[in-house]
Structure 1
């Protein structure tokens, strides 16, 4: 995993070749993280952390974003003071063709079935 310079606002992300299936599945096994990914998948571009209205504390929200970033599901970059989030769809589709779409489809069907 690449490491940011001391004092840098760059966040560490795994290179595409370092993304592991088990890490991806672990990251998406949490309902809040899956919710974040579903919102990002439905967005037309990047979303800031403040665009998400999650029913958890700020520190828990930060943890969820970190797990998603470190597993290679999302890319986070600072734009001014905002931390922007984007789905790494191209990388994920190249590494695991069809997996992200299948997971998102299954999550949408589950949400519809459970009324959420």
Structure 2
């Protein structure tokens, strides 16, 4: 029978298992980019999933966090009943230098533009 700690652990890829394709896929969704942007802000410590007010259902939010974790973009741990999230910036920078900052800069610039008429 698993101990409570074992039952509450989450699987994460090792640094060596993180792929460019997986990271780019994770970063290709606007909701996931919103999460990564928030986690990348200066001085932000681990954030609970509940602080992210995404305009999607709870189950969809859970899916987005799982994609980010399984791709190696974020690290999640349980602290009590809360699942805390942190950006794996060191791992991403070691594997793909400049990628995260480039994507976030592009995301910020896109967010600043007026929406295109459609």
**TM-score of the aligned structures, taking structure 2 as reference length:** 0.90
- Helix, strand or coil: the match of 2:66? helix
Aligned length: 111
Q: Give ranges in structure 2 of 5+ residues lacking alignment.
A: none
**What is the deviation of 1:114?**
3.6
- Helix, strand or coil: the match of 1:12? coil
Q: Give ranges in structure 1 of 5+ residues lacking alignment.
A: none
Matches within 5 A, 1:1-116: 8-42=7-41, 44-114=44-114
Q: Write out per-residue CA displacement over residues 81-114 of structure 1, whole angstroms, 9 at most, x where no aligned residue.
A: 1000000000000000001000010000000114
Q: Distance in 1 between matches of 2:52 and 2:20?
A: 26
Root mean square deviation of aligned Cα: 1.5
Q: Write out per-residue CA displacement over residues 56-76 of structure 1, whole angstroms, 9 at most, x where no aligned residue.
A: 000000000000000000000
Q: Distance in 2 between matches of 1:49 and 1:92?
A: 21
Q: Distance in 1 between matches of 2:96 and 2:106?
A: 16
Give 4+ residue runs of structure 1 displaced > 4 Å after superposition: none
**What is the deviation of 1:44?**
1.7
User: Which one has a bigger Cα radius of gyration?
Assistant: 2
Q: Distance in 2 between matches of 1:14 and 1:114?
A: 38
